[in-house]
């Protein structure tokens, strides 16, 4: 199955949408930073049973870049995503998102919920779509809940679904979609607020290699179109060669290395 | 904005409708229980209204003809009628008993037999709301029955040893216990209250004759007089009084109390006796039921909403992760609980309206009760969703990312 090869309709409209979405808008200089992590540590529990899941993590992802995060089971990948996603608190270190320091030995931002809503898109191994909303409203949900007019939110959602080649299924319920279609809808949902950062946790695990590559192709395209910094956690041998840069994480420490950067267009 | 609750209900409407149906039947039972109580109160009021009386004159220090037994001499009405402010008076007897329909299809009906002087309509104590036939006109062996007895015009019914022909049918003439009334002439009713079987009368006569004090050789006629007084009943249960225009009940009641040495109740006092004393235990019984039904309904709503919420933990974690406000999630659960409650309420109201007429006793569904029930349903739903909302708010958004 092939993901749409036609040029993104969102190239212009994406810019329009971003300018409407002023509370997310970042100055060019701030966005130039993307994600920056510096000496991040995370310890679960305390005393004898303490687990140092992250011992020293350094990582930088530029806007428009897709990097891979790979490592054996239990190495701390999910823990790192949870820290970056502001759902668990790191124990030490610094995290910068779009030029703004969000963590520096303590949260620097009061409303973590709004931070997640406005600046971070999440894509999971399973799509976790809301089963009682149709595809269009699943994507449009966030802006609608943020108080945008329904029509505007749905319009934006539809543009993304078109870009991801699932617009023809926009009125279907999630349970009526194939796994690949569901994953593309989930990506559309993660992108709808034009977040400067997308965190993807094994987004291709349930997909066959062609669909998996399709998802990566979309993520690359979205990164370019919207200047988004994307981290993809994966075990998936099929997609690892597509990254230009890869972070290996082993025993809570990161090592950067160059990837093959194989073309998938 | 988008209504998450509404969309979820629409998506899984079968589940909601069926749960709502079950809850609705429960609410219907609750409404009916309240209706049974209202029916009892209304029966009591109708009983008082239909008697057409402003004052009830009863035996001294008793609670009157409905709540306690009371007997007043059947000539007292004359002296009362002569008092100032009294327009009309009427003797009346009440006796709850089995009335037998004779002839083909014979059966017993529990009824309140009312003895009235055949004065015609307008007089206190007379049957009102006649739907067929005529009023009592003769002094013996005629009856006017409430339609709820199931008797028809021309039927022959048996009260004690005498048979009566049904000449009229009335509507909504019931005792405070909900038993339909059967009106018979006062004289017959007095006899019915008192009348013994033949054997007992024979034995009573023999006993009296053997008493030398009552059967003196030199006093002819004494024994006959004693026996005559033993076998008649000169008592009625109450005297009903209608006031002349311009007189307040208290103003007329006071002299009767003082001079006749009888207890007099006004309409308001009688209502108090019927409602606060006579049906008070039944009312508490029903109140118990209402409380239990409310608790059961609350438990059901709470359980259903809690289960539905637990089934959505994953989605709730995702919603929280992508930045949905706690308020939005709580509102979703609350709205679902309210939606369920409203479905239940509508079903319950319809069910109660349909089955209320089938009840043997009057069930009065008051608009006020319906509104109160709606408020109760809303309150119960809000309380019931608290558990589910707490569970939802405790969900950790990190769960959405998983291991
Ligand atoms: N809530 C927690 N409490 C205590 N220890 C935890 C917790 N979550 C993770 N850990 C531990 O932290 C380490 C890193 O876990 P993490 O889930 O980040 O690994 P992972 O790289 O995502 O593994 P996998 O590839 O299997 O998903 C593991 O040793 C794990 O046992
Ligand atoms: Mg993991």
pLDDT tens digits for range A230-255: 999 988 888 888 899 999 998 889 98
Q: What is the dihedral of CA A154, A159, A165, A169, to 10 degrees?
A: 20
Residue A152, class by beta-carbon neighbours within 10 Å (0-12 exposed, 13-18 middle, 19+ buried)? middle
The reported pLDDT for the residue numbered B403 is 65
Ligand located closest to A77 CA: 1
- As a three-state string, the secondary structure of A103-130 is EECCECCCCHHHHHHHHEEEECCCCCCC
**Pairwise CA distance, residues B100 & B129, whole Å:** 23
The reported pLDDT for the residue numbered B109 is 93
Closest-CA residue, ligand 1 atom 11, reads A53
DSSP B248-312: -HHHHHHHHHHHH--EEEEHHHHHHIIIIIISHHHHHHHHHHHHHHHHHHHHHHHHHHHHHHHTT
Residue A264 is assigned to a structural domain of this protein: no
Distance from CA of B393 to the nearest CA of A (A): 13
Q: Is B121 on the interface with A (CB under 8 A)?
A: no
Q: Residue A208 contacts by C-beta under 8 Å, 6 or more apart in sequence?
A: none
Which residues 296-315 of chain B have a CB within 8 Å of chain A? 314-315
Residue A184 is assigned to a structural domain of this protein: yes
**pTM of the entire predicted model:** 0.75
Residue B204, class by beta-carbon neighbours within 10 Å (0-12 exposed, 13-18 middle, 19+ buried)? middle
Contact (CB<8Å) B398/A147: no
pLDDT of residue A19 exceeding 70, the answer is: no
Residue of B nearest to A73 (CA): B403
pLDDT of residue A16 exceeding 70, the answer is: no
With cut-offs at 50, 70 and 90, classify the pLDDT of residue A9. very low
Helix H or strand E segment including B99: strand B86-101
Helix (H, G, I), strand (E, B) or coil at A174: helix
Distance from CA of A9 to the nearest CA of B (A): 25
**Which member of A78, A118, A144 has the closest CB to residue B1?**
A144
Helix H or strand E segment including A233: strand A229-233
Contact (CB<8Å) A116/B322: yes
**Pairwise CA distance, residues A25 & A8, whole Å:** 21
For B2-47, the pLDDT digits (tens) are 788 888 888 888 888 888 898 899 999 989 999 998 988 888 888 8
Backbone angles phi, psi at A87, to 5 degrees: -110, -20
Residue of A nearest to B11 (CA): A132
Nearest atom in ligand 1 to A235's CA: 25
Q: How far is CA B190 from the centre of its chain?
A: 26
DSSP B200-247: HHHHHHHHHHH-TTTS-TT-TTHHHHHHHHHT---EESEEEEEEPTT-
Residue A185 is assigned to a structural domain of this protein: yes
Determine which of B323, B326, B335 to mutate to test the interface with A (most A C-beta atoms within 10 Å).
B323
Q: How far is CA B260 from the centre of its chain?
A: 33
Higher local confidence (pLDDT), A30 or A190:
A190
Terminal Cα distance for chain A, rounded: 14
Closest-CA residue, ligand 1 atom 24, reads A73
For A127-185, the pLDDT digits (tens) are 788 888 999 999 999 888 888 898 999 998 998 898 888 899 999 999 999 888 888 89
**Pairwise CA distance, residues A250 & A97, whole Å:** 24
* Joined tokens for residue B230: 């033993």
**Pairwise CA distance, residues A243 & A66, whole Å:** 7
pLDDT of residue A207 exceeding 80, the answer is: no
Q: Domain tally for chain A?
A: 1
Q: Which residues of chain B fall below pLDDT 50?
A: none
Q: Is B324 on the interface with A (CB under 8 A)?
A: yes
Closest-CA residue, ligand 1 atom 14, reads A76
Q: How many CB pairs under 8 A join A and B?
A: 79
Contact (CB<8Å) A122/B315: no
**Pairwise CA distance, residues B201 & B205, whole Å:** 6
* Helix B313-321 / helix B280-310 crossing angle, nearest 10 deg: 60
Inter-residue contact A136 to A161 (CB < 8 Å): yes
* Joined tokens for residue B155: 């039927």
Closest-CA residue, ligand 1 atom 6, reads A44
With cut-offs at 50, 70 and 90, classify the pLDDT of residue A109. confident
**Which member of B2, B319, B324 has the closest CB to residue A150?**
B2
List beta partners, residue A228. Answer: none
CATH number of the domain that residue A181 is part of: 3.40.50.300
Closest CA relative to residue A243, chosen from A191, A190, A200: A200
Closest CA relative to residue A120, chosen from A214, A10, A14, A201: A201
**Pairwise CA distance, residues B256 & B57, whole Å:** 8
Q: How far is the CA of A252 from the centre of ligand 2 (A)?
A: 13
Q: Residue B200 contacts by C-beta under 8 Å, 6 or more apart in sequence?
A: none
Q: Look-up: residue for tokens 């009888």? A: B262
Backbone angles phi, psi at B12, to 5 degrees: -110, 45
Distance from CA of A81 to the nearest CA of B (A): 8
Tally the residues of chain A.
265
The reported pLDDT for the residue numbered B269 is 93
pLDDT of residue A15 exceeding 70, the answer is: no
Domain boundaries, position A193:
3-258
List beta partners, residue B138. Answer: none
Residue A265 is assigned to a structural domain of this protein: no
Q: Is B3 on the interface with A (CB under 8 A)?
A: no
Determine which of A23, A80, A113, A202 to mutate to test the interface with B (most B C-beta atoms within 10 Å).
A113
Ligand located closest to A53 CA: 1
The reported pLDDT for the residue numbered A31 is 43
Q: How far is CA B121 from the centre of its chain?
A: 25
Q: How far is the CA of B296 from the centre of ligand 2 (A)?
A: 44
Residues of B in contact with A201 (CB under 8 A): 401-402
pLDDT of residue A18 exceeding 50, the answer is: no
The reported pLDDT for the residue numbered B308 is 86
Q: Is B402 on the interface with A (CB under 8 A)?
A: yes
Determine which of A117, A132, A138, A231 to mutate to test the interface with B (most B C-beta atoms within 10 Å).
A132
Inter-residue contact B361 to B36 (CB < 8 Å): yes
Closest CA relative to residue B56, chosen from B364, B336, B248, B263: B263
**Pairwise CA distance, residues A90 & A78, whole Å:** 13
Closest-CA residue, ligand 1 atom 12, reads A53
Backbone angles phi, psi at A41, to 5 degrees: -130, 145
* Number of helical (H) and strand (E) elements in chain B, helices listed first: 14, 12
Determine which of B322, B329, B332, B333 to mutate to test the interface with A (most A C-beta atoms within 10 Å).
B322
Ligand located closest to A57 CA: 1
Identify which of A40, A51, A248 to mutate to test ligand 1's pocket (most ligand atoms within 8 A of the CB). Answer: A51
For A150-163, the pLDDT digits (tens) are 899 999 899 889 88
Nearest atom in ligand 1 to A249's CA: 21
Tell me which DSSP letter residue B70 carries.
Answer: -
Residue of B nearest to A201 (CA): B401
Residues of B in contact with A189 (CB under 8 A): 322
The reported pLDDT for the residue numbered A32 is 60
């Amino acid at each position: 199955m092939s993901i749409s090869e036609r040029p993104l309709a969102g190239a212009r409209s994406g810019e329009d949408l971003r300018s409407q979405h002023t509370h997310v808008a970042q100055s060019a200089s701030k966005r130039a930073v993307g994600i920056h992590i510096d000496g991040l540590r995370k310890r679960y529990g305390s005393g004898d049973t303490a687990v140092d899941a992250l011992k020293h993590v350094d990582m930088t992802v530029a806007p428009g870049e897709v990097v891979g995060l790979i490592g054996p089971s239990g190495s701390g990948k999910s823990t790192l995503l949870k820290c970056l996603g502001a759902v668990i608190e790191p124990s030490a270190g610094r995290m910068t998102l779009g030029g703004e320091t969000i963590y520096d030995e303590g949260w620097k931002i009061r409303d973590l919920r709004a931070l997640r809503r406005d600046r971070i898109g999440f894509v999971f191994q399973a799509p976790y779509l809301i089963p009682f909303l149709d595809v269009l409203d699943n994507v449009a949900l966030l802006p609608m809940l943020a108080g945008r007019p329904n029509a505007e939110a749905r319009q934006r959602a539809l543009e993304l679904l078109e870009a991801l080649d699932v617009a023809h299924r926009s009125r279907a319920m999630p349970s009526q979609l194939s796994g690949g279609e569901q994953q593309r809808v989930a990506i559309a949902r993660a992108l709808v607020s034009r977040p400067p950062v997308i965190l993807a946790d094994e987004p291709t695990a349930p997909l066959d290699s062609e669909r998996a590559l399709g998802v990566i192709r979309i993520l690359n395209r979205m990164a370019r179109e919207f200047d988004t910094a994307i981290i993809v956690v994966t075990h998936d041998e099929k997609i690892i060669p597509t990254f230009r840069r890869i972070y290996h994480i082993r025993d809570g420490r990161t090592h950067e290395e160059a990837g093959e950067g194989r073309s998938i267009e | 904005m988008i209504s998450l609750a509404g969309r979820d209900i629409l998506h899984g409407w079968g589940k909601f409708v069926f749960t709502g149906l079950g809850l609705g039947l429960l609410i219907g039972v609750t409404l009916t229980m309240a209706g049974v109580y209202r029916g009892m109160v209304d029966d009591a009021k109708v009983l008082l209204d239909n008697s057409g009386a402003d004052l009830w004159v009863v035996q001294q220090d008793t609670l009157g003809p409905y709540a306690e037994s009371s007997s007043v001499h059947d000539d007292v009405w004359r002296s009362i009628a002569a008092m100032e402010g009294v327009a009309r008076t009427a003797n009346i007897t009440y006796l709850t008993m089995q009335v037998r329909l004779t002839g083909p299809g014979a059966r017993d009906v529990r009824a309140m037999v009312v003895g009235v002087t055949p004065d015609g309509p307008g007089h206190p104590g007379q049957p009102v709301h006649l739907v067929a036939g005529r009023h009592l006109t003769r002094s013996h062996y005629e009856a006017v029955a409430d339609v709820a007895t199931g008797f028809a015009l021309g039927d022959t019914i048996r009260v004690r040893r005498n048979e009566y022909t049904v000449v009229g049918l009335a509507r909504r003439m019931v005792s405070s216990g909900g038993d339909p009334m059967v009106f018979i002439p006062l004289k017959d009713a007095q006899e019915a209250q008192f009348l013994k079987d033949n054997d007992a009368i024979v034995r009573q006569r023999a006993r009296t004759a053997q008493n030398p004090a009552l059967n003196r050789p030199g006093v002819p006629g004494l024994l006959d007089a004693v026996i005559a007084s033993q076998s008649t009943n000169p008592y009625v249960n109450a005297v009903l009084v209608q006031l002349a225009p311009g007189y307040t009940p208290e103003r007329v009641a006071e002299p009767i109390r003082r001079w006749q040495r009888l207890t007099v109740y006004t309409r308001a006092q009688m209502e108090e006796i019927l409602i606060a004393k006579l049906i008070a235990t039944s009312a508490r019984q029903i109140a118990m039921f209402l409380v239990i039904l409310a608790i059961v309904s609350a438990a059901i709503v709470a359980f259903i909403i809690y289960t539905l919420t637990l089934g959505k933990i994953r989605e709730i974690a995702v919603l929280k992760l992508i930045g949905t406000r706690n308020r939005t999630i709580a509102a979703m659960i609350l709205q679902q609980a309210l939606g369920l409650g409203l479905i239940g309420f509508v079903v319950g109201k319809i069910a109660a309206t349909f089955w209320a007429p089938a009840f043997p006793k009057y069930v009065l569904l008051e608009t006020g009760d319906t509104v109160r029930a709606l408020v109760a349903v809303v309150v119960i739903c809000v309380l019931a969703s608290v558990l589910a909302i707490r569970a939802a708010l405790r969900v950790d958004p990190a769960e959405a990312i998983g291991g």
